[in-house]
Amino acid sequence: MSVDQDIPNKKEFELFIAAPMSALGNDEAYAIGRKNILELIDRLSGVHGLDPVYYAGATISGQAAFTGETTALRRDLEALRNSRLFVLVYPSKIVTSALVEVGYALALRLPCLLLVRDKDDLPYLLNQVEASEPSELLPPLRIRVFHEIDSAAQEIAAFRRDLVQKEINNV
Protein backbone atom coordinates (compact mmCIF):
# COMPACT_ATOMS: atom_id res chain seq x y z
CA MET A 1 0.00 0.00 0.00
CA SER A 2 1.28 3.44 -0.79
CA VAL A 3 -0.49 6.15 1.09
CA ASP A 4 1.19 9.49 1.56
CA GLN A 5 1.34 10.13 5.24
CA ASP A 6 3.01 13.51 5.44
CA ILE A 7 1.51 16.86 4.67
CA PRO A 8 1.15 16.93 0.91
CA ASN A 9 3.21 19.60 -0.82
CA LYS A 10 4.00 19.80 -4.52
CA LYS A 11 3.38 16.12 -5.04
CA GLU A 12 0.56 15.14 -7.31
CA PHE A 13 -1.91 12.48 -6.21
CA GLU A 14 -3.60 10.16 -8.65
CA LEU A 15 -6.59 10.12 -6.41
CA PHE A 16 -8.17 11.91 -3.48
CA ILE A 17 -10.56 9.74 -1.50
CA ALA A 18 -13.10 11.52 0.70
CA ALA A 19 -15.12 9.48 3.15
CA PRO A 20 -16.98 10.14 6.40
CA MET A 21 -14.60 10.15 9.36
CA SER A 22 -15.47 12.17 12.45
CA ALA A 23 -19.10 11.98 11.37
CA LEU A 24 -19.10 8.24 12.03
CA GLY A 25 -19.58 9.00 15.70
CA ASN A 26 -17.64 6.34 17.59
CA ASP A 27 -14.31 4.55 17.41
CA GLU A 28 -15.77 1.23 16.31
CA ALA A 29 -17.63 2.69 13.34
CA TYR A 30 -14.60 4.78 12.45
CA ALA A 31 -12.30 1.72 12.56
CA ILE A 32 -14.59 -0.23 10.21
CA GLY A 33 -14.92 2.70 7.78
CA ARG A 34 -11.15 3.28 7.80
CA LYS A 35 -10.36 -0.41 7.28
CA ASN A 36 -12.61 -0.48 4.22
CA ILE A 37 -10.96 2.56 2.65
CA LEU A 38 -7.46 1.24 3.35
CA GLU A 39 -8.42 -2.04 1.70
CA LEU A 40 -9.75 -0.09 -1.25
CA ILE A 41 -6.46 1.82 -1.53
CA ASP A 42 -4.55 -1.47 -1.38
CA ARG A 43 -6.61 -2.87 -4.21
CA LEU A 44 -6.31 0.31 -6.29
CA SER A 45 -2.55 0.23 -5.92
CA GLY A 46 -1.98 -3.53 -6.24
CA VAL A 47 -4.52 -4.49 -8.89
CA HIS A 48 -5.12 -1.30 -10.87
CA GLY A 49 -1.82 0.53 -10.45
CA LEU A 50 -3.45 3.66 -9.09
CA ASP A 51 -0.88 5.27 -6.87
CA PRO A 52 -0.34 7.52 -4.85
CA VAL A 53 -3.68 8.02 -3.15
CA TYR A 54 -4.55 10.64 -0.58
CA TYR A 55 -6.92 9.64 2.20
CA ALA A 56 -7.01 11.82 5.32
CA GLY A 57 -7.77 8.85 7.58
CA ALA A 58 -4.64 6.96 6.54
CA THR A 59 -2.63 8.42 9.41
CA ILE A 60 -5.45 8.59 11.93
CA SER A 61 -5.94 5.29 13.67
CA GLY A 62 -8.75 6.38 15.96
CA GLN A 63 -10.97 9.35 16.63
CA ALA A 64 -8.77 10.43 19.54
CA ALA A 65 -5.94 10.92 17.03
CA PHE A 66 -7.64 13.66 15.04
CA THR A 67 -5.03 16.36 14.53
CA GLY A 68 -7.20 19.43 14.86
CA GLU A 69 -9.68 21.02 12.48
CA THR A 70 -7.38 23.70 11.06
CA THR A 71 -4.55 21.31 10.23
CA ALA A 72 -6.98 18.80 8.75
CA LEU A 73 -8.52 21.49 6.55
CA ARG A 74 -5.15 22.74 5.32
CA ARG A 75 -3.91 19.23 4.49
CA ASP A 76 -7.10 18.23 2.75
CA LEU A 77 -7.46 21.34 0.62
CA GLU A 78 -3.83 21.22 -0.40
CA ALA A 79 -4.12 17.56 -1.34
CA LEU A 80 -7.31 18.27 -3.29
CA ARG A 81 -5.51 20.91 -5.32
CA ASN A 82 -2.79 18.38 -6.07
CA SER A 83 -4.99 15.48 -7.11
CA ARG A 84 -6.03 14.32 -10.55
CA LEU A 85 -9.25 12.64 -9.53
CA PHE A 86 -11.74 12.92 -6.69
CA VAL A 87 -13.65 9.98 -5.25
CA LEU A 88 -16.35 10.22 -2.61
CA VAL A 89 -17.16 7.04 -0.72
CA TYR A 90 -20.53 7.73 0.86
CA PRO A 91 -21.81 4.54 2.46
CA SER A 92 -24.87 6.05 4.13
CA LYS A 93 -26.83 9.28 4.37
CA ILE A 94 -25.04 11.25 7.10
CA VAL A 95 -23.80 14.74 7.86
CA THR A 96 -20.15 14.69 6.84
CA SER A 97 -17.40 17.12 5.88
CA ALA A 98 -16.74 14.87 2.89
CA LEU A 99 -19.64 16.68 1.20
CA VAL A 100 -17.79 19.99 1.66
CA GLU A 101 -14.84 18.37 -0.11
CA VAL A 102 -17.09 17.31 -3.01
CA GLY A 103 -18.09 20.96 -3.48
CA TYR A 104 -14.46 22.04 -3.34
CA ALA A 105 -13.48 19.40 -5.92
CA LEU A 106 -16.33 20.36 -8.25
CA ALA A 107 -15.36 24.02 -8.10
CA LEU A 108 -11.77 23.05 -8.96
CA ARG A 109 -13.21 21.04 -11.87
CA LEU A 110 -11.65 17.80 -10.69
CA PRO A 111 -13.28 14.76 -12.30
CA CYS A 112 -15.52 13.32 -9.58
CA LEU A 113 -16.73 9.80 -8.91
CA LEU A 114 -19.39 9.47 -6.24
CA LEU A 115 -19.68 5.95 -4.81
CA VAL A 116 -22.87 5.34 -2.88
CA ARG A 117 -24.91 2.42 -1.56
CA ASP A 118 -28.10 4.18 -2.63
CA LYS A 119 -28.30 7.14 -5.02
CA ASP A 120 -31.07 8.69 -2.93
CA ASP A 121 -28.60 9.08 -0.05
CA LEU A 122 -26.84 11.85 -1.97
CA PRO A 123 -27.73 15.51 -1.43
CA TYR A 124 -30.36 16.66 -3.92
CA LEU A 125 -27.93 18.82 -5.88
CA LEU A 126 -25.47 15.95 -6.40
CA ASN A 127 -28.18 13.49 -7.21
CA GLN A 128 -29.18 15.67 -10.14
CA VAL A 129 -25.76 16.65 -11.37
CA GLU A 130 -25.06 13.49 -13.35
CA ALA A 131 -27.73 14.58 -15.83
CA SER A 132 -25.65 17.66 -16.70
CA GLU A 133 -23.09 17.49 -19.46
CA PRO A 134 -19.48 18.35 -18.52
CA SER A 135 -18.86 21.98 -19.36
CA GLU A 136 -16.52 24.87 -18.64
CA LEU A 137 -18.08 24.98 -15.16
CA LEU A 138 -18.76 21.33 -14.53
CA PRO A 139 -16.12 18.56 -14.56
CA PRO A 140 -16.85 14.98 -15.63
CA LEU A 141 -18.92 13.38 -12.89
CA ARG A 142 -20.16 9.86 -12.38
CA ILE A 143 -22.37 8.33 -9.70
CA ARG A 144 -22.13 4.59 -9.08
CA VAL A 145 -23.69 2.24 -6.58
CA PHE A 146 -21.18 -0.05 -4.88
CA HIS A 147 -21.59 -2.97 -2.52
CA GLU A 148 -18.09 -4.31 -1.96
CA ILE A 149 -14.58 -2.93 -1.95
CA ASP A 150 -13.73 -4.89 -5.07
CA SER A 151 -16.54 -3.35 -7.12
CA ALA A 152 -15.63 0.12 -5.77
CA ALA A 153 -12.04 -0.33 -6.95
CA GLN A 154 -13.23 -1.48 -10.37
CA GLU A 155 -15.51 1.56 -10.70
CA ILE A 156 -12.64 3.91 -9.84
CA ALA A 157 -10.30 2.21 -12.29
CA ALA A 158 -12.96 2.28 -15.04
CA PHE A 159 -13.67 5.98 -14.42
CA ARG A 160 -10.00 6.81 -14.69
CA ARG A 161 -9.59 4.66 -17.80
CA ASP A 162 -12.51 6.45 -19.48
CA LEU A 163 -11.07 9.85 -18.59
CA VAL A 164 -7.69 8.92 -20.04
CA GLN A 165 -9.38 7.57 -23.18
CA LYS A 166 -11.34 10.80 -23.56
CA GLU A 167 -8.13 12.82 -23.19
CA ILE A 168 -6.46 10.71 -25.88
CA ASN A 169 -9.44 11.17 -28.21
CA ASN A 170 -9.34 14.93 -27.68
CA VAL A 171 -5.65 15.22 -28.58
Partner 1 sequence: MSDEGGKEGMWSSLVAILKSFGLGGALILIGFGIVMLAIFKGPDFKPESAQPAVLWIGLGAGGLAIVIGLILLRLGPSINSTGIKRVSRYDVYIAAPMAGFGNDDEGRRTAVDLVRCIEGALLRLPDVRNVYTPVAARSQSAQYETPGTAFDTELTALRSAKRYLLVLPGALPAGTSVLVTAGIAIALKLPCAILAHKDLALPYLLDGAVQSRAVQLRQHRYTDAENIEKLFANNGLRLFGSE
Contact positions vs partner 1 (CB under 8 A): 21-23, 66, 68-74, 76-77, 93-97, 99-109, 121-126, 128-129, 131-132, 135-138
Distance in Å, CB of 169 to partner 1, minimum: 23
Query: 99, 122 in Cβ contact below 8 A?
Result: no
Contacts of 141 (CB under 8 A, 6+ apart): 106, 111, 112, 113, 114, 129, 130, 132, 134
CB closer to partner 1 out of 10 and 168? 10
Cβ neighbour number for residue 97 with a 10 Å cutoff: 17
CB closer to partner 1 out of 5 and 70? 70
* 95 class by beta-carbon count within 10 Å (0-12 exposed, 13-18 middle, 19+ buried): exposed
CB closer to partner 1 out of 1 and 65? 65
CB closer to partner 1 out of 141 and 156? 141
Q: How far is residue 115's CA from residue 142's CA, in Å, rounded to a whole number? A: 9
Distance in Å, CB of 138 to partner 1, minimum: 7
Query: 24, 93 in Cβ contact below 8 A?
Result: no
Distance in Å, CB of 93 to partner 1, minimum: 4
Q: How far is residue 54's CA from residue 45's CA, in Å, rounded to a whole number? A: 12
CB closer to partner 1 out of 31 and 108? 108
Distance in Å, CB of 22 to partner 1, minimum: 4
Distance in Å, CB of 108 to partner 1, minimum: 6
